[in-house]
């Protein structure tokens, strides 16, 4: 149970379908980057691609103020419609990722795919991009990925990552985790250790009740923000994303939900993605990991499963604890980026210029 606690707690961070209230703008200056400026050239306020098990794709969009939208895949028109629409596309050839080009009758288009990439050796591998920011820009897809552990990647998976152009992998796990379950990387990828809990003495006492488990998860989230290991690790990740012009960058931990979840939340928040969107992305780990988590809990006695479940979950209160720690220590998220992670205004502009369209 002790090792399970470290693997799940260090690997832990947000769940549920309940909502979290975003920090309100106030005299203290607590607001998300780029909040009040809508200068986008992209007319789409919504656009999604969702792959189904039968090989079909559900496409949905909303392009306010336009009269016509056309969507292409592999250079061929696969859907047409008005400003708002939903269609199902079938009969496309199998691919690692099927990309779709959304184009309205005016303005800039979008290049989108399903966020999740199905691999044989992971359950929580997905694209960080495809989200709209508060300025109306969009986070590019195919540039940054997040994942659970990579030790079970198959040769087919490694080949897929090569085709996805994964050039740099940041491993957020502890030394014990890295030794026990070493990453299997695509050929030529650069491997970077970014141990979030390096030097931390936390998580040595396993919880004995569900409430203790929840408190442990909240403490872990705060440590990701305030701990020296967390500050160094997340600075490495953001610097790596900003500096790696070759792309693509991948960061991961064991379950791909807590340490990885805060890396993802930090990047998306820095780019100006609304917090409710960041939360929804964070909570998606509950869906992607549902079968794996259920299998773990089914092998435990009921009292132990009740204690262990909060460690496997992701919950809004976990993510909130990270944002609360940012506010308590730095006042604003921009100050966290600058003083905590060393990302100044110029570097933040570079990050946005590299990863945003519109």
Q: What is the pLDDT of residue 116?
A: 96
Q: Do 313 and 286 touch, CB atoms closer than 8 A? A: yes
What span, in angstroms and rounded, lies between the C-alpha atoms of 147 and 62? 29
Instruction: Please state, in angstroms and rounded to a whole number, the distance separating the CA atoms of residues 171 and 191.
Output: 7
Whether the bond between 248 and the residue before it is cis, its omega within 30 degrees of 0, is yes
Burial annotation 282-315 (CB, 10 A radius, 16+ → b, else e): bbbbbebbeeebeebeeeeeeeeeebbbbbbbbb
Quickly tell me which residue has 């490495």 as its tokens.
236
Assigned token pair, 277: 């969107």
Q: What is the pTM of this model?
A: 0.88
pLDDT of residue 203: 60
Neighbours of 92 (CB within 10 A): 16
Helix orientation angle between 316-330 and 275-288, rounded to the nearest 10 degrees: 140
Q: Is 250 in contact with 170 (CB distance < 8 Å)?
A: yes
Q: What is the pLDDT of residue 23?
A: 32
- What is the C-alpha to C-alpha distance for residues 140 and 129, in angstroms, rounded to an integer? 5
- What residues pair up with 190 in beta bridges, in sequence order? 168
Per-residue confidence (pLDDT) for residue 36, from 0 to 100: 42
* Per-residue tokens: 130: 């495809």
- How far apart are the C-alpha atoms of 181 and 254, rounded to whole Å? 9
Averaged in consecutive runs of 10 residues, what is the pLDDT profile of the chain (358 residues)? Answer: 41 30 28 46 97 96 95 96 97 94 96 97 98 97 97 97 96 96 95 93 79 96 96 96 82 98 98 97 97 96 96 98 98 97 96 95
SS3 annotation, the chain: CHHHHHHHHCCCCCCCCCCCCCCCCCCCCCCCCCCCCCCCCCCEEEEEEEECCCCCEEEEEEECCCCCEEEEECCEEEEEECCEEEEEECCCCCCCCCCEEEEECCCCCEEECCCECCCCCCCCCEECCCCECCCCCEECCCCEEEECCCCCCCHHHHHHHHHCCCCEEEECCCHHHHHHCCCCCCCCCEEEECCCCCCCCCCCCCCCCHHHHHHHHHHHHHHHHHCHHHHHHHHHHHHHHHHCCCCCEEEECCCCCCHHHHHHHHHHHHHCCCHHHHHHHHHHHHHHCHHHHHHHHHCCCHHHHHHHHHHHCCCHHHHHHHHHHHHHHHCCHHHHHHHHCCCCHHHHHHHHHHHEEC
| Residue given tokens 């991009």 in the structure block | 129
- Per the DSSP assignment, residues forming a β-bridge with 46 are 62
């Amino acid at each position: 149970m002790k090792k399970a606690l470290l693997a799940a707690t260090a690997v832990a961070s947000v769940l549920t379908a309940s909502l979290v209230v975003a920090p309100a703008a106030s005299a203290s200056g607590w607001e998300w980057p780029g909040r009040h400026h809508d200068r986008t050239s992209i007319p789409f306020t919504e656009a999604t691609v969702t792959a189904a098990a039968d090989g079909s794709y559900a496409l949905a969009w909303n392009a306010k103020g336009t009269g016509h939208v056309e969507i292409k895949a592999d250079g061929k028109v696969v859907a047409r419609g008005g400003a708002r629409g939903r269609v199902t596309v079938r009969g496309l050839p199998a691919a690692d990722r099927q990309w779709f080009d959304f184009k309205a009758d005016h303005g800039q288009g979008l290049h989108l795919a399903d966020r999740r990439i199905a691999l044989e050796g992971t359950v929580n591998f997905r694209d960080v991009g495809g989200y709209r920011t508060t300025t109306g820009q969009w986070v590019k897809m195919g540039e940054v990925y997040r994942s659970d552990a990579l030790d079970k990647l198959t040769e087919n998976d490694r080949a897929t990552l090569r085709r996805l152009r994964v050039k740099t992998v940041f491993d957020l796990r502890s030394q014990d985790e890295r030794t026990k379950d070493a990453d299997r990387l695509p050929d030529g990828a650069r491997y970077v250790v970014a141990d979030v809990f390096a030097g931390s003495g936390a998580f040595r006492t396993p919880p004995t009740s569900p409430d203790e488990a929840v408190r442990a998860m909240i403490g872990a989230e705060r440590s990701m923000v305030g701990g020296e290991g967390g500050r160094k690790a997340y600075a490495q990740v953001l610097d790596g994303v900003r500096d790696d012009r070759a792309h693509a960058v991948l960061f991961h931990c064991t379950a791909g939900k807590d340490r990885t979840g805060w890396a993802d939340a930090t990047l998306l928040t820095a780019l100006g993605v609304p917090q409710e969107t960041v939360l929804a992305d964070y909570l998606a780990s509950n869906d992607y990991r549902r079968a794996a988590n259920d299998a773990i809990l089914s092998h435990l006695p009921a009292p132990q499963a009740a204690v262990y479940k909060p460690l496997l979950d992701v919950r809004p209160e976990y993510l909130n604890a990270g944002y609360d720690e940012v506010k308590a220590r730095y006042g604003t998220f921009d100050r966290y980026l600058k003083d905590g992670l060393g990302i100044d205004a110029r570097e933040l502009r570079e990050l946005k210029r590299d990863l945003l369209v519109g």
